[in-house]
Amino acid sequence: MISVIDASGAIEIALYKERAQEFKRVLADSEIVLAPDLFVSEVTNAFWKYRTLTEFSEGQCVAAIQFCLEMVDDFVSTKELWREAYSQSVTSKHSVYDVFYLIVARRNSARLVTCDKKLKRLATEMQIPIL
């Protein structure tokens, strides 16, 4: 099976949170792991927040960012997805940032790996398998 991971799912693994082992297993069993290229910005921004607002060191944050980026086998250009993502976002009244992940999943018949509850609900409505 193909998997699409979002930033929340990757951060769950990187920080060894509650579902980390389960998510790691799913990614290991995946033929390929995809993400839209905005994943890089989202993960980097999340660890910037950890660096700014917590006790995380510079080294910990950089290592965590690299770790998250290495989870993804192939990044899909958002330039190729924006029209479909925009249209779906208008229809569903949901953030375009999140919808990019759903479009990648739908186009590739993939399951979505995420911790985002709102994104899970929308994925279910769009009949996209979620973990």
Q: What are phi and psi of 32, to 5 degrees?
A: -155, 145
Cα gap 104→100, rounded to integer Å: 6
Q: What is residue 73's predicted lDDT score, i.e. its pLDDT?
A: 98
Cα gap 80→35, rounded to integer Å: 13
C-alpha distance from residue 88 to each of 11, 14, 82, 119, 120 (Å): 25, 30, 10, 13, 15
What domains lie within the chain, and their CATH numbers?
2-125 (3.40.50.1010)
Question: Is there a contact between 3 and 27 (Cβ–Cβ < 8 Å)?
Answer: yes
Q: What is residue 131's predicted lDDT score, i.e. its pLDDT?
A: 81
C-alpha distance from residue 86 to each of 7, 32, 53, 73 (Å): 20, 25, 32, 25
Whole-prediction pTM value? 0.94
DSSP string across 21-78: HHHHHHHHH-SEEEEETHHHHHHHHHHHHHHHHSS--HHHHHHHHHHHHHT-SEEEPG
pLDDT tens, residue order, the chain (131 aa): 999 999 999 999 999 999 999 999 999 999 999 999 999 999 999 999 999 999 999 999 999 999 999 999 999 999 999 999 999 999 999 999 999 999 999 999 999 999 999 999 999 999 999 98
